[in-house]
A and B are shown apart, each in its own frame.
Chain A
Amino acid sequence: MTTARVFAVTLLAAGFSFSIGCGGGSSSSSTHTTTPPTTPANNSLTITVDAGPAGNYANGAFTSVTVCSPGTSTCQTVDGVLVDTGSSGLRILSSALTTVSLPQQKASDGNSVAECLTFLGSYTWGPVETADVEMAGEKASSVPIQVLSDTDYTAPNACTSSGFPPADTLDSLGANGILGVGLAAQDCGPSCPAGQYFECSSTTNCVSTNEALAQQVINPVALFASDNNGVIIEFPAVSGAEASVSGTMVFGIGTQSNNGLGSATIYDAPDGTLTTTFSGNAYPGSFLDTGSNGYFFLDSSLTGLADCNSSNSPGGAVPIGFYCPATTQNFTAANQGTNGTSGTISFSVASASTLFASSADTVFPTLGGPASNPPNYFDWGLPFFFGRNVYTAIENTSTPAGEGPYWAY
C-alpha cells in the first residue's frame, strides 16, 4: 500500500509537469484544459543544533518561527525556538515577544485561559493566546499557542505540585520557545484530564477547566493551508562531538517533490509509541523525540552503563541523569510499529562527563542517560535523528502511506 500510494503521488507529479510541457508546444492538445498550478509553498526551514539563545544547550535543535497578531501584518520572528517532535503546539517565552501583542484566549464565561504542560522533568505555565503562525512559506491562522510566563497569572498548586522546575524563562528553558511538531495535533486530546487547562478569574486564581479540543494548543503544521499532514526532520550524519550542525525541517509528507516517503519504513504508532526490542526484551512505549537531548533508555543495571557520579566525572560538575561509561559502548536495538514493520538501530553511548568537557561542542551523537522508573522505554532523542530523515505524520491526517499517526525513517 505504501509503495502504491507513493507511486500514485509520483505519477501525479509526473503528469503535472508533462501537461505543462505539453501545453506550451502543441496546439492539438486544446481539448485538455489544465488548471494552472498554484505555486507550491516554500516548505522547508533550516534547523540548527547549537548552544541556543541561552548559550548552554546540548543537543538542542533550534529554528525561527514568525508569529503575527491574528489577521494583521504585525509580526515578529522569534529565533532560538526548540524543535520538539515529542510535544505538540507552539510555546513562546513572554519575554521573547517584544514587538507583537497577541489576544488572550477567553473561556465562555470571559475568564482567561492558561495552561500547565508537564514535560519529562519540567513544566511550562502561562496564558493561551492566539496568533497567526508563519514558517518558511507556510501560514496557519488563529492558532492557540502558549505564552510562557509566571507573571501574568500565578501558577496554581495543581501545576507546581509535581515539584518539577518551571521552564518559563530563557535561563530555565534554554530556548525562546518550543515548537511541538509531534504525532498528536492538539496537546491534550479529546478526553483531557483535569490539571492541564485552567480558567483564571484573577491573576492569582486559576482553576482547572475542561478545554474543548478546538481551543487547545495545537501543532501549527496541522493548521497550514497545505503541507499540513506532518514534517520531516532531516539531519546529516554526525560522527563525533561538534560545535554545530544544520538540518532541515520539511513541511508535508508526500505533498511536494521534496517530501516524498521514498523508501522510508512506516512505523504506525496509534498511541504515539513504538516498541523497541533490546537484549531480547520488548519495550513498548518508546518514542522518537528531537526535544530530548540524548538517548534515554532503561537504566544502569539493564544497560551496564554507569550513571554519572563524582567518581567517574572528575574535574567538573557531575552531569546527573546521564550515563558516564568508562569507554564508549556500542548497542543494537530494533524498533517495531504496530503495522509489523521493524528495523535495526545501531548506536553508541559515551561518557557525558567527557563529552561536556569541551565547552565549544554542542552536538553530541553519543549522549545518553537512564530513563525513569519503571525503566521500560526508549526515548530516542536528538542523536537518533543524526544521519536520518525522520517523518512525523500527524494523527487523523491523510498521507501517501495512509493515515497518521506514524513515524517513518
Chain B
Amino acid sequence: MLLLGRYPLMNRFGAILARSIGTVAVGAAFTVFCLPGVSWATLGGSSGSIDSDQTQMQGTRRTIAGNLYTIHEITAATGTVVREFVSLDGTVFAVAWQGPRVPDLRQLLGSYFEPYAQAAQMQGGARAGRRPMTVNQTGLVVQAGGRIRAFTGRAYVPQMLPAGVKLEEIQ
C-alpha cells in the first residue's frame, strides 16, 4: 500500500491536528499556524489560500455571495468544478467537487489530508468491495463517489459549519 507521508511540511500540522481534532480550539490554533504564507492550507484555512488552489488547478474562478457564507467556485483545466465554502469570518469550512477528475485533495484539504487519507486507506479489507467512499470522523467528513468520468464529493469540518448552514447546501 502506498502511504501518504510525502509532504513532510504537512506532517507536522497533520500530527497536531490529529491529536486534537474535534475541539473548537484547534480550529483557531490551526488558523494561526497557517495564515501567514502557508499556501497549502485550504480546508480550515483562510479564504486567501484559495488563490493557491486556483493556481494549482489552472482554473477560472467566480464567487457567489450568500448570507451565511461565500462560495468560491474554481473551474479547473480538467473540467472539474471545485466549490470552496467560506464563512463570514473568512474560514474555508467545506469544499465540494464535481467533474471528470477528482481534484487534488492534498491541495484542497491541506493538513486535513493526512487524517483523511489514512482513514480512507482503512476502507478496504474484508467485505469491502468497490463503492463510494465515506470518511466520518469527529473533526472531518469526506464523502466521495460518482462514477468514472463524473466524480462527485465533498469534505467539511462539522465544527466549523456556520450556524444555520444545512449540509445539503454543501455541493
Give the interface of A toward B (CB within 8 A). 56-60, 82, 84, 86-87, 117-122, 150, 155, 157-158, 160-167, 169, 171-172, 174, 182, 184, 187-189, 193-196, 272-273, 285, 287, 289, 291-294, 296, 301, 307, 317, 319-321, 356, 369-374, 376-377, 379, 381
Contacts and interface: CB of A to CB of B under 8 A. Distances in A.
A84 B148 CA distance: 12
B116 A163 contact: yes
A326 B152 CA distance: 29
Contacts of B100: 193
Most chain A CB within 10 A, of B2, B125, B128, B143, is at B128
Lowest 10 A-B CB distances belong to which pairs? A372-B145, A293-B129, A121-B133, A374-B171, A163-B117, A193-B78, A161-B104, A162-B102, A373-B154, A56-B126
A371 to B, nearest CB: 6
Contacts of B130: 82, 84, 119-122, 167, 291-293
B102 A369 contact: no
| Interface bracket on B | 35 or more
Interface stretch (B24-32, B65-73, B105-113): B105-113
Contacts of A194: 77-78, 101
A80 to B, nearest CB: 14
Nearest to B104: A161
Contacts of B148: 86-87, 117-119, 182, 187
Contacts of A59: 129
Given A119-B130, A193-B79, A372 B121 contact: no
A165 B1 contact: yes
Contact of A121 (B107, B116, B132): B132
B146 A165 contact: no
B54 interface: no
Contacts of A293: 129-131
Given A164-B144, A272-B147, A118 B101 contact: yes
B100 to A, nearest CB: 5
B123 A165 contact: yes
B133 A166 contact: no
Contacts of B171: 373-374
B37 interface: no
Given A120-B146, A121-B145, A372 B106 contact: no
Contacts of B107: 161
Contacts of B168: 301, 374
B62 interface: no
A289 B129 CA distance: 12
B127 interface: yes
Contacts of A171: 124
Contacts of A291: 130
A379 B6 contact: no
